Structure 1
């Protein structure tokens, strides 16, 4: 699969999670394991470019799953206690 990743910092350059960025953008084929999850958690925009559906249906970082679903919450062991 091919993806376009956009940094939350415009104009960012360098390597992040094994991906080279130029001017805040990177296009990669078959990203390293866990890289897309890493980028999404840190506010990057991730677009899937290999789209087999109709135009305009690309998945982005805000698409967590099928409509009407929401991601699982944190487990009680992972929540902060004051």
Structure 2
């Protein structure tokens, strides 16, 4: 699972669009996507990988990291790039 932030609704949509095009052009087929029109939270499901793209405020509100980063997930690794 990938959880990432983008600076604005436009940025969230642009990153999601880029990921979807790259996935398809790499020959992996189509991915399912939800929330692309709204731009606050986009979910991309490739079957093997789930990508959550958020605006910073939306990411703080839903706080998926808290739900998934528990002691049950000892092999979970968090990597932060840029401003978080």
Shared fold (TM-score greater than 0.5)? no
- Which structure exhibits the higher relative contact order, with contacts defined as CA atoms closer than 8 Å and separated by 6 or more residues? 2
Structure number with larger C-alpha Rg: 1
TM-score by length of 2: 0.30
TM-score by length of 1: 0.31
Larger proportion of helix: 2
